[in-house]
Structure 1
Amino acid sequence: TDHLLMNRAYLDDGKRRGTDEHRRRVAAHELGHALGFCHKSYDEGRSLLWADYGQIAEQKLNGPTAKDIEAYHALWG
């Protein structure tokens, strides 16, 4: 079993990145790692698994992209 641990110093309400939108993005990104996915490069297309959170936020990615769904099916069927 994998465990996802979130850094409360950054993610709690009122903290530096403590918005609901940020927490959803971080949780989705980390869940991707728990499912076995590595960081993606920008030339692979839009993905919640980009290593640079700034790019994820800039693109307003709030859920799996077509690239993420494709990667899921390639890995898990």
Structure 2
Amino acid sequence: MSNLVAGLAALATVLLLAPAPARAAVAAPCIATSGSDATETREDSSVDEGEIRWTASTKYKAEYQHANRAWSYSGAKIKIAPDSATTVNDLNYEDFSDARNAAAGVWSRHPGIAATDLIRFNKARMDTFDAATRRMVAAHELGHALGLCHKSGSGKNAVESVMWPEAARYPDVPTDVDKANHRRLWG
């Protein structure tokens, strides 16, 4: 009997010291209340038939390559691949320079048959950032091309997300919350 009590006591100790089971990340709401950034929809993305085919005419090659790899994580449903002679170009990375524009990067949708959406990097801002911040901007803008909206970094809906609207020290890869939003949108 004493062996049974000792065994149960040891088991109870192990159970008390065991870490709690991990909870799956929950998709986070959009922070905008109106406009295209207020919802996450497949229609408001650069995705065409389960993929984004891209081209690039930008000086920020390391940054867009980082973003492409970051959003091609294991389990991601959308294929991100270079355009080819036999595919339709969905997205082009390019540059502009406007010191009056506070945005470091901008994704813009161009609806229509065979239209190409754009991720444009503002050289006037990007050139002032370190490499890590430039990678964050590129990953953030590709998140928009995947149909994701801005997430909150403060207040009651605060989450860790590459989709924070400020070019600050946010993550440069999709977080568990970003992946949950991606799964909710794309399956």
Tell me the equivalent position of 2:174: 64
CA distance in 2, matches of 1:51, 1:9: 18
Secondary structure of 1:37's counterpart equals: coil
Q: Does 1:74 align with 2:159?
A: no
Tell me the equivalent position of 1:5: 120
Unaligned runs of 5+ in 1: none
**1:53 Cα deviation after fit:** 2.6
1:36 to 1:74, Cα distance in 2 relative to 1, 3 A:
same
* Structure with greater proportional strand content: 2
Q: Matched residues, percent identical?
A: 42
* Structure with greater proportional helix content: 1
Could you list the structure 1 runs, at least 4 aligned residues long, displaced by more than 2 angstroms after superposition: none
Tell me the equivalent position of 1:49: 163
Larger Rg: 2
CA distance in 2, matches of 1:5, 1:38: 17
TM-score by length of 1: 0.78
Q: Does 1:32 align with 2:170?
A: no
**1:66 Cα deviation after fit:** 0.2
Secondary structure of 1:21's counterpart equals: helix
Structural RMSD (CA): 1.5
**1:22 Cα deviation after fit:** 1.1
Report the AA paired with residue 26 of structure 1: V
